[in-house]
Structure 1
Amino acid sequence: MINEMPQPATILVVDDLPQNRQLIELYLVRLGHRVMQAANGREAIDLLRTQRADLIMLDIMMPVMDGFETLTILKADPALRHTPVVVVSALNSTEDVARCISLGADDFLFKPVDRVLLDARVEACLVRKRLHDREQAALAAAESANRAKSDFVAILSHELKNPITGIAGYADLLLLQVFGPITAQQEEGVRVIRSLANLTKTLLADLTDLSEIDSGHLRLDPSPSRLAVAAAAASNTMRTLLADRHHRLRIDIPPDLPLVMADEVRLIQILTNLLSNAGKYTPPYGSIVLSAAQLDAAMIEVSVRDSGIGIPANEQDRIFSPFFRTMSARDGGEPGSGLGLNITRRLVELQGGRIWFSSAPNAGSTFSFTLPVAHSATTHPK
């Protein structure tokens, strides 16, 4: 930053005395800058409403509107607050300098102005301004790219949802033999088609959730909810997978457990993801326990414990990373996008909780998360 070459800038000089404005303008023009002038704070504010300045050189003692009031207005205006201000004043008390800085001034020069100091402080402020402008431009570009990505994912999901649903629907009709009998080999092929269609629908849903979370557009509707109701809905969704693998699922939720403050749809999604994860990585005839308990007056802890293959120690620090899948998942051919646990973590955190796990190879895994207790007495549970 020290080696950055000086660049021409537009500088507004605000002083009630014309000779002071002209002297500072002379210094600045010799440095290659363009100069605008204003005789008081009000005139300066009006000028800045229509013209951009990279830096403001501001006197304090002026009629109509002094420098203190001008600084206050500048720093309260979102469009102007990032424009650097160098106070140029005959006031030399420590209290006056401190007041200017507290109001947002970036630097201070005493009159009569020393040209060497003016050159140095003007250039230092302009370098900081250019850095801020670049950061803002980069941020705007990143936000634009993120919006474009979100729009693309939304369009893609919408356009693919109907054909994928149609494929799964026709596969179901074929399995029901609505169009006539099919052979055992054909039935196996149709089941593969149906499975792949459902996997694609899940992937599209995960991508949509991830995009909405990243862009800040995910809408949550938290309200007092019964954890037992959400657990029953999630277990019902996972019934086929668990039955196919002969898993034993036990739900242990105390009947007097307080309501949780959560978006019930997303709570069911969290529990479904954790049950699905447990079901996939637990060998046939394994056990899965979904339990809950009150930690304290503020939080409820929910856990999903399985007797599965566990997670290797060298992979545990990445388990919540997007698109990450363990080596055992890849080698075992388990379907998935690697988004489920990442989305689960973010859904928990968006609702005021946290999530963690404990696991060891061949010793199973336990995923636990917290949610706040619903304390409102004026709302009703879902």
Structure 2
Amino acid sequence: MRKRIQKQAHVEETTDLSLPMVPSLSGVSGEDDEAISALAEQRDHAIEAAIQTTSDAILVLTPDFHIAYLNPAAAATLRVPLENTVGSRCTEVLGCKNLNRMALCGTSSCPLVRALEQRSPLPNEELIVGMDPDHLYEVSASVNPITLDDEFSYAVFAARDMSALKVANRVRSNFVSMVSHELRTPLNSVHGFIDLLLQGHMGALNEEQRMYLGYTQEGVQQLISIVEDILFMTRSDLGQFEVKQQEVHLLSLVRQVARSLQPQALKAEVALHMDIPANVPALYIDPQRIKQVLNNLVANAIKFTPPGGVVTISARQHDEHFEMISVTDTGYGIPAEDSHHVFERFYQSNHSQQSKMGGYGLGLSIAKLIVEQHGGTIGFDTVVNKGTTFYFTVPLYHDPAQL
């Protein structure tokens, strides 16, 4: 395997502008040929030394999920013998899990499966790896598929231990969580007292007073929602958030979401449709969290769809383990320059429609987090001025008695 990798590195070196260019072999003397060979050998040794001495775990995996090569850092991190691990299945060595500790092996969310299917690099995947329950590691991993010739394809799995960074982030998240919690209590008090005023407990109000108190209540409610979302994100970062999965029927869940958002749709003059088969299989999800995902996606779709448009919630079976749920609108679409930032926290587009609609950029980040903690994936397709479809997968329910 190592010879194949070295051969590939030797082939690619003539196009690597960061390294000295090797002159053409045509018309050169034997001494020049020897110098070129010596340079190539020296560089091969340098590449080999870099792989051997790096603190990052590096593994080469075959398409049938076997370990073809691993460096000393990978053996040390995963606590496996360097010599006897080659040939083992990656499920026996890596045991990839998401941050919710849900196993990814054998699912469509497996990073190796996704990289090989997409035939493109998969960078910055946050995973938990290791087979020893007492020595699990949170890592930032990348999976890069490579083709050495027409017959052999591999994937290079590189992982960096994020433990030290996680500690620093945990301190920051604790601070944000504490501040958010302290804000929530007085905001709820203000909200409650405004309710008492509007209900007339402190005396009759005229229409103008009611109007201004209504505006105040909306502003306070928005602040409470922001604080709740920030608390949600920080608790998740601290590992204090978990999903409580159970058997759930999708149709009733979607009806609840559509009913709660119908007033918003009517105000925006947008039609809200459901395309959910009556015989859709039961899901294994946390109903409150997936309802939160649907609320975020449908509310966004309504907000960015002009009057007379349509928002449709639909579902279809993705594979034998997952259902795919989609929210499609006929709205403004997402500009190309914003596509790579859609799921980033607090990201705000410079697009004119975004400035009109407002928002604080956490809804889609929260949706992505919840879906991934269910072991699913989330993505979107968009055409500017025609519409956008957000889709995500969630696990199907399997009766234990039938397994």
Give TM-score scaled by structure 1 length: 0.59
Contact 1:199–1:336 (8 Å) recurs in 2:
no
Change in 2 beyond 3 A, CA 1:242/1:165: farther
Which one of the candidate residues 203, 216, 231 is aligned to 1:180? 203
CA-CA distance at 1:265 after TM superposition: 1.3
CA 1:249/1:180 → structure 2, altered by over 3 Å: closer, same or farther?
same
1:295 aligns with 2:287: no
C-alpha separation in 2, matches of 1:201 and 1:243: 24
Partner of 1:336: 359
For 1:329 and 1:206, how far apart are their aligned partners in 2? 23
1:179-230 CA-partner distances (Å, limit 9, x unpaired): 3343443333222211111111111121112112223332111222111222
Whether 1:247 and 2:267 are equivalent positions in the alignment is no
Are residue 264 (structure 1) and residue 284 (structure 2) matched? no
Q: Select 2:218's aligned residue among 161, 183, 195.
A: 195
Q: CA contact under 8 A between 1:293 and 1:302: conserved in structure 2?
A: yes
TM-superposition CA deviations, 1:98-139 (whole Å, max 9, x none) = xx97599xxxxxxxxxxxxxxxxxxxxxxxxxxxxxxxxx96
What one-letter code is carried by the residue in structure 2 that aligns with 1:150? S
Counterpart mapping for 1:42-57 below 5 A: none
Can you list the C-alpha shifts for 1:300-320, whole angstroms capped at 9, x where unaligned? Answer: 111111122221122112111
| Residues paired across the two proteins, number | 249
Q: Is the 8 A contact 2:262 2:272 kept in 1?
A: no
Q: 1:219 aligns with which of 239, 242, 264?
A: 242
Give, in angstroms, the shift of residue 371 of structure 1: 1.2
Tell me the equivalent position of 1:15: none
Tell me, in whole angstroms, the C-alpha distance in 1 between the residues paired with 2:166 and 2:319: 40
**Displacement of 1:329 after TM fit?**
4.7
Structure 2 vs 1, CA of residues 157 and 245 (structure 1 numbering), >3 Å: closer, same or farther?
A: same
Rounded to whole Å, the distance in 2 between the matches of 1:218 and 1:206 is: 12
Pick the aligned partner of 1:364 from 387, 392, 396.
387
Query: How far apart, CA to CA, are the structure 2 residues paired with 1:101 and 1:274?
Result: 47
Does the residue aligned with 1:229 lie in a helix, a strand or coil?
helix
Higher gyration radius (CA):
1
Report the CA distance shift for 1:279/1:171 in structure 2 as closer, same or farther (over 3 A): farther
User: 2:343 — aligned with what?
Assistant: 320
Matched letter for residue 328 of structure 1: S
Alpha-carbon distance in structure 2 between the residues aligned to 1:313 and 1:354: 21
Q: Distance in 2 between matches of 1:245 and 1:172?
A: 26
Is this contact kept in 1: 2:173–2:234, CA < 8 A?
A: yes
Match of 1:309 among 319, 332, 344: 332
Relative to 1, partners in 2 of residues 1:151 and 1:182: Cα closer, same or farther, differing over 3 Å?
same
Amino acid at match of 2:192: G
With 189-198 and 262-271 compared, the bigger mean Cα shift is at: 189-198
The separation in 2 between residues aligned to 1:317 and 1:293, in whole angstroms, is 26
Structure 2 CA distance for aligned equivalents of residues 277 and 168 of structure 1: 25
SS in 2 for 1:208: helix
* Cα separation, 2, equivalents of 1:101 and 1:364: 52
Describe the SS at the equivalent of 2:386. Answer: coil
| Counterpart pick for 1:157 among 176, 180, 184 | 180
Structure 1, unaligned runs of 5 or more: 1-80, 83-99, 105-137
CA-CA distance at 1:141 after TM superposition: 4.8
Match of 2:313, SS state, is: strand
Within 5 Å, which residues of 2 pair with 1:118-133?
none
Q: Offset of 1:350 from its aligned partner?
A: 1.4
Match of 2:218, SS state, is helix
State how far apart, in whole Å, the 2-side matches of 1:172 and 1:378 are: 50
1:238 aligned counterpart, secondary structure: helix
Cα distance per residue 1:26-72 (max 9 Å; x no partner): xxxxxxxxxxxxxxxxxxxxxxxxxxxxxxxxxxxxxxxxxxxxxxx
Q: In structure 2, the residue corresponding to 1:293 is in which secondary structure?
A: strand
Structure 1 residues 164 and 243: CA distance shift in structure 2, 3 A: farther
Q: CA deviation at 1:359?
A: 1.5
SS in structure 1 at match of 2:325: strand
SS of residue in 1 equivalent to 2:223: helix
1:339 is displaced (CA, Å) by 0.9
Q: What SS does the aligned partner of 1:210 have?
A: helix
Consecutive unaligned residues of structure 2, counting only runs of 5 or more, are 1-75, 86-160
Query: How much does 1:254 deviate?
Result: 1.0
Matching of residue 145 in structure 1 with residue 154 in structure 2: no
Deviations 1:130-181 (A, max 9, x none): xxxxxxxx96653332222232233223222222122222333333344334
TM-score relative to the length of structure 2 = 0.56
The alignment-based identity, stated in percent, is 31
Is the 1:171–1:190 Cα contact (8 Å) retained in structure 2? yes
| Local SS of the residue matching 1:343 | helix
Distance 1:204 1:235, change over 3 A: same
Q: Distance in 1 between matches of 2:331 and 2:191?
A: 30
